[in-house]
Amino acid sequence: METQSRGVIFDIKKYALHDGPGIRTTVFLKGCPLNCWWCHNPEGQNPKPERIWEEQNTQKEIIGREVSVEEVITEIEKDLIFYDQSGGGVTFSGGEPLMQPDFLDHLLIACLTRELSTTLDTCGYASWEIIKRIKDKVDLFLYDLKMIDDAKHQKYTGVSVLPVLSNLKKLDEEGKYIIIRFPVITGITETEENISQLAEWITKLETIKEINLLPFHKIGYSKYIKLKRENKLLNLNPPSTERLDQLLDIFRELGFKTKLGG
Ligand code: SF4
């Protein structure tokens, strides 16, 4: 029974307004193959539940818990009325949900059975076999695209960009509904070089015509302290409003529907 399948999550966010259309419930699956320097959810990277520390090094709590599909669906179903009224549904985020393919697949099947709209927030770093298995159960992909240069992608995220690009291209060729999410990281992803490579690459896509810009912010800083993890971008400033406006204009002129955030 798919509802007995189990996986590890670290949060369920109700009434989410920026993780896809309408009012949504976002389920955060734990584990990510990347280690982005700017990650706002570092507690989502480790696939296992882990201990976090308070400032005095005394109190501690465990982030992440193992749950069944049934338990997650029970939570999701509590807000059915909001999804119906707003055109919302369920978003699977993380971490990287594709790191738990069986659990994700079974969650998606359970949503499909209940006619719930599904969104997958993904970094796209997975084998095509895994993506092939889930792709037709996802209504909308929020697909992160950070940088095109492979050496730089490896430096700043820990992995090659090649599978990310190849999977995106295949999903695009199949006409899947995809919104690209571009994290705007000062001096790293918003450089002239990366923007021009990105622009060249995305204009070759056949059906994708939307891009959301996600500006770097410092909200996740305290999480690094609690996890006793090094924060490599401690002194980095968020991009200026002028720069964000410039970038929005660039992508609009390329024929893309653009949005800041979400
Ligand atoms: S892909 Fe997302 S969750 Fe994973 S490390 Fe990067 S920013 Fe964090």
Is the CB of 190 within 6 Å of ligand 1?
no
Phi/psi of residue 54, nearest 5 degrees: -85, 170
**CATH number, position 202:** 3.20.20.70
Instruction: Give mean pLDDT, residues 11-30.
Output: 95
pLDDT tens-digit map of 125-157: 999 999 999 999 999 999 999 999 999 999 999
CA distance 93 to 19: 9
Ligand 1 centroid – CA 144 distance (Å): 9
- Mean pLDDT is lowest, of 19-28, 37-46, 48-57, for 48-57
The CA 84 to ligand 1 mean position distance, Å, reads 30
Ligand 1 contact via 197 beta carbon (within 6 Å): no
> Domain limits at 43?
2-260
Q: What is the reported pLDDT for 137?
A: 98
What pLDDT is recorded for position 57? 66
Q: What is the pLDDT of residues 206-230, one digit of tens each?
A: 999 999 999 998 887 888 988 888 9
What does the mean pLDDT of the chain come to? 95
Give yes or no for a contact between 92 and 121, defined as CB atoms under 8 angstroms apart.
yes
For residue 154, the one-letter residue type is Q
- Please report the pLDDT score of residue 55 as a whole number: 67
Task: For the full predicted model, state whether its pTM sits above 0.85.
Answer: yes
Structural domains of the chain, count = 1
**Pocket lining: 93 vs ligand 1, CB cutoff 6 Å:** no
Residue 110 has a pLDDT of 97
In this structure, the strands spanning 178-184 and 210-215 are parallel
Confidence (pLDDT) at 219: 80
